[in-house]
A and B are shown apart, each in its own frame.
Chain A
Amino acid sequence: MTAVDSYVDTVDNAVATPDQDQPYKALGLKDDEYARIKEILGRRPTDAELAMYSVMWSEHCSYKSSKVHLRYFGETTTDEMKSKMLAGIGENAGVVDIGDGWAVTFKVESHNHPSYVEPHQGAATGVGGIVRDIMAMGARPIAVGDPLRFGPADAEDTKRVLPGVVSGIGHYGNCLGLPNIGGEVVFDETYLGNPLVNALCVGAMRVEDLHLAHASGTGNKVILFGATTGLDGIGGVSVLASESFGDAESGGGRKKLPAVQVGDPFAEKVLIECCLDLFKADLVTGIQDLGGAGLSCATSELASAGDGGMRVWLEQVPLRAKNMTPAEILSSESQERMCAVVTPEKVDAFMAVCAKWDVTATVIGEVIDVTEEEAANGGRLWITWHGNTVVDVPPRTVAHEGPVYNRPIERPSTQDALVANVPDALKRPVSADELRATILQLLASPNLCSRAWVTDQYDRYVRGNTVSSQPNDSGTVRVDEETGRGVAISTDCNGRYVRLDPYNGAKLALAESYRNVSVGGAVPLAVTNCMNFGSPEDPGVMWQFSQAVRGLADGCAELGIPVTGGNVSFYNQTGDVAILPTPVVGVLGVIDDVARRIPTGFGAEAGETLILLGETREELGGSEWAHVVHGHLGGRPPAVDLQAERLLGEILVAGSRDGMVTAAHDLSEGGLAQAVVEAALIGQTGARIFLPEGTDPFVTLFSESTARALVAVPRSEEQRFTDMCTARGQAWTRIGVVDPELGAVEFQGITSIPLDELRTAWEGTLPALFD
């Protein structure tokens, strides 16, 4: 035996040495949290137990600062909203019934901090993690997408981070054979030291195939399968190993691997196909992915979600590094691993499927009975290492009974000044030349220019079901080839709006995402979120967070669609400067026949009439115009009106069903000018726009009033469509016509800009910065 093997902290040892110092602070536990662990166990924890509790009670895993606020989502979800929900918050991902016997699961998760440290691998493993979450529901992953935030586009560090993140997402997702159907790329100086890399995955399954992560049935086997377990991603737990050697500084010469894991997309692709074969053959009772906190998380969550008892022989875990301690094995975040619970008679068949795919699979434990007393205390997770007990804990206390904090909340004193700093006094373009220059300046600005440099690095075609993807407002994939049923998804958040008004800003993110799904012709069905904020220890950040949660929950209740899951990422800040509060909202919609989807680009039929739906007010607080032209952030964001959004959605879906609408584009950042130009460039056709008489051209072109969309209607349908709008109380204005002969976008009486000039401005920015 080597020196490393010789020291293993067992339960017996912990009982015998109650006063031994433990590096709980270095692992991120507070004094009272450590005391609570001792109280639960009636002794000090072993090294392995301490590793488990510290990682499972971390902010990332336990939601200790957000839990008290997130409850509000549950409190505001009515039974009617839940009617299409098959699984919700608390499962690996939310699941909704989309009809025709299909269930769809979707989730967004953050991988922000790793992606700053090591952009390519951080982003790649973010994709890998969210895909395994979806597989853990028993679904085939069918699409991915990525809401991204970076520092200023021309900042030096953005040149390091953005290309790495894009190549990481592209490489991993492309190798998995999952179409990338959407996302966001937003630049703001607050993200310079804290880029946001959120990863979205959508999966589909037959309703009856839903698998929940349960470890039930005494005697059932616990099988770890996929990649081997190594020292990667262990992070803070390595201090335990160092302590054991009595050399905290150098770790006893132990080679420490980077805290960011390295992904192997080929291993994940094989794991996906292997899992799907296992599901198809009905060989799985419960399944859980291994992500953050590795086996600590998988075993404690599986056990506490089942009957509460699990026995694990930790030395059975296949390792890729020598001399790993039990604490390291439990904490390793090696990628591309899954854990399944399998009835004994199916183990051989399970192993045969894994062998077909050359996937390593090992029985590492089994489900055990618990006494009534043990069940009442949270079950029993019993882990041995070569015959010695190294973990003996109630798994519920690890997975679900972590600390809960009611952090101080205070509206920042600077908020009033921010809101008072309205954009009214900013110099506006007045002359035709100034308006023309502003249109082109915004079009080429980093937040509004073409994202092709990014999205062209992602495979959007694989699997052959992608009906809509970037640059359209939402991504749409076909789920059922026979019926044509499919789903649409969009993710949105304007952090500038949320900064000005967190409550309404979150509602605005919901409104935009809802609208983006609707303009594609889909009916919004469910919501997920990824709440990216600064430090929860800052009362001002907690105020933003609590306001945003309430705004989003109230908004969902008003629209009647449930939040089915979400993710919280705190500590996105550099020094005292937090990121713009960024509650990314993902809305999933269903479309009963994808052939009816509405494209974004004009020109399906020559001479379409262009109609602006909704009302335009002077709303420039937080606008892209104020940002790009004046570097200004202040005032109030546009008013949010969810009833108007719902009506607009109904009009668009009705227009799609009855074939009255040939193109639709939502109005958001950059206002009408941006929407018209994008729809013309995407459709590769010219258009003439007549601004309504008596309106201020600047406001009409650049205001960011919500609940608006630009639609193209064939001339033959114009009367029927506008009659429907009028009858239902939808405001509409005829604002132009599509003109394929024109080769330009003409804003009548102001300017006409050739399509080539527009395209050069729109498409040139990102290649010039990043090629």
Chain B
Amino acid sequence: MTKVGVITFPGTLDDTDVVRAVSRAGAEPVNLWHGDHDLKGVDAVVVPGGFSYGDYLRCGAIARFAPVMTEVIEAAGKGMPVLGICNGFQILCESGLLPGALVRNAGLHYVCKDQWLKVENTSSAWSSRFEAGAEILVPVKHGEGNYTASQETLDQLEAEGRVLARYVSGNPNGAQRDIAGVVSENGRVVGLMPHPEHAIDALTGPSDDGLGMFLSLIDSVVKT
């Protein structure tokens, strides 16, 4: 069975949700602690949302130096699939695994709402189950989700098809070019502000559209 590591930092909030989503998709979740020095033989890692170490300095800035992140950065370099959601996305940007940064929402408020996304990249380790152009409904909930990068970087991301998804029917945070998530050069590392783990069941979320990301991951692990 595919083993997916789920990292908990002090202040991580959505780890239980990611564990549930991983199980629901049919993989085995493995809890990883911020102080761990090994990844316990997992096939992939999810860095969940929350406020790691309180995020008092800058979102993700401290978490990036956690022992477990050293392992994640090394494994990602060798092609391990990594997904950063919300605070996890911020941590991956701080770690240098993904380009750009997430800054304060344009409206200056924390915003929690159901958000439509258009999936663009369907070749990454986390998005192969989606059809290009598919519109999915997934919650956003963050105060600092405004994706920002240099024009050059943004042009490059678009030219290389590395925009995972864009906000449609309204941009909740002012993100440049409506970018909700991006993909690494090798297509293995993905960062996403919206929360696919909160959209795995219409009972508790706005849809079950988010499950596709975890199913995609299992496909990609099985393939390699």
The residues of A with any CB-CB pair to B shorter than 8 Å are: 167, 170-171, 174-177, 264-267, 269-270, 273, 357-358, 455-467, 478, 594-595, 771
Contacts and interface: CB of A to CB of B under 8 A. Distances in A.
12 contacts: A171-B110, A176-B13, A177-B13, A266-B55, A269-B10, A269-B13, A273-B10, A457-B110, A459-B13, A462-B13, A465-B204, A771-B107
**Smallest CB-CB A-B distances: 6 pairs:** A266-B54, A177-B13, A464-B17, A461-B198, A175-B51, A459-B141
Interface in B111-149: 111-113, 139, 141
B158 to A, nearest CB: 30
Nearest to A464: B17
Contact of A175 (B54, B111, B198, B204): B54
Contacts of A265: 51, 54
Contacts of A267: 54
A550 to B, nearest CB: 40
Contacts of A266: 10-11, 51, 53-56
A670 B8 CA distance: 47
Contacts of B20: 464
Contact of B111 (A176, A358, A457, A467): A457
A594 B17 contact: no
A464 B204 contact: yes
B193 to A, nearest CB: 14
A180 B195 CA distance: 17
B94 interface: no
B114 to A, nearest CB: 9
B10 A357 contact: yes
Contacts of B200: 464
Contact of A478 (B11, B14, B113, B204): B204
B14 to A, nearest CB: 6
Given A459-B112, A462-B17, A467-B204, 20 more contacts: A167-B109, A175-B54, A176-B13, A265-B51, A266-B10, A266-B53, A266-B56, A456-B112, A457-B110, A457-B112, A461-B139, A461-B198, A462-B141, A463-B16, A463-B17, A464-B204, A464-B205, A467-B203, A478-B204, A595-B203
A151 to B, nearest CB: 21
A223 to B, nearest CB: 20
B43 interface: no
B209 interface: no
Contact of B113 (A167, A177, A456, A465): A456
Contact of A174 (B54, B110, B198): B110
A144 to B, nearest CB: 13
Nearest to B14: A462
Interface residues of B, number: 28
A459 B20 CA distance: 18
Contacts of A270: 10-11
Contacts of B195: 461
B50 interface: yes
Contacts of B141: 174, 459, 461-462
A174 B86 CA distance: 13
Nearest to B172: A456
A193 to B, nearest CB: 26
B207 to A, nearest CB: 12
Contacts of A467: 203-204
A170 B53 contact: no
Contacts of A461: 17, 112, 139, 141, 195, 198, 204-205
A464 B198 contact: yes
A57 B198 CA distance: 47
Contacts of A174: 51, 110, 141
A269 B139 contact: no
A175 B11 contact: yes
Interface in B33-50: 50
Interface string B15-27: 0110010000000
Interface in B47-89: 50-51, 53-56
Contacts of A176: 13
A620 B53 CA distance: 53
A455 B110 CA distance: 10
A467 B204 CA distance: 5
A462 B203 CA distance: 14
A462 B53 CA distance: 18
Most chain A CB within a 10 A radius of its CB, from B54, B55, B56: B54
A273 B107 CA distance: 32
A471 to B, nearest CB: 12
Contacts of A175: 11, 13, 51, 54
A365 B200 CA distance: 49
A649 B70 CA distance: 56
A179 B185 CA distance: 36
Contacts of B139: 461
B54 to A, nearest CB: 3
A170 B110 contact: yes
A268 B17 CA distance: 20
Interface string B177-220: 00000000000000000010110100111000000000000000
Given A270-B11, A459-B141, A464-B16, A264 B110 contact: no
Most chain A CB within a 10 A radius of its CB, from B20, B51, B56, B112: B112
B212 to A, nearest CB: 17
Contacts of A358: 10
Interface string B144-157: 00000000000000
Contacts of B10: 266, 269-270, 273, 357-358
Contacts of B56: 266
A589 B111 CA distance: 29
A767 B136 CA distance: 27
Contacts of A466: 204
Most chain B CB within a 10 A radius of its CB, from A267, A269, A459: A459
Contacts of A357: 10
Contacts of B197: 464
A443 to B, nearest CB: 21
A171 B112 CA distance: 12
Contacts of B17: 461-464
A458 B139 CA distance: 12
Nearest to B201: A464
A174 B87 CA distance: 13
Contacts of B16: 463-464
A460 B13 CA distance: 12
Given A175-B51, A177-B50, A467-B203, A269 B11 contact: yes
A171 B56 CA distance: 12
A176 B51 CA distance: 9
A264 B10 CA distance: 13
Contacts of B11: 175, 266, 269-270
Most chain B CB within a 10 A radius of its CB, from A264, A265, A462: A462
Nearest to B199: A461
Nearest to A595: B203
B195 to A, nearest CB: 7
Nearest to A264: B54
A408 B11 CA distance: 50
Nearest to B139: A461
Contacts of B111: 456-457
A270 B113 CA distance: 26
Nearest to A597: B203
A455 B13 CA distance: 19
Contact of B112 (A269, A460, A478): A460
Nearest to A270: B10
Contacts of A177: 13-14, 50
A357 B51 CA distance: 15
A459 B205 CA distance: 12
B115 to A, nearest CB: 11
A559 B111 CA distance: 39
Nearest to A166: B109
A459 B53 CA distance: 19
A80 B195 CA distance: 45
Contacts of B203: 467, 594-595
Contacts of A464: 16-17, 20, 197-198, 200, 204-205
Nearest to A266: B54
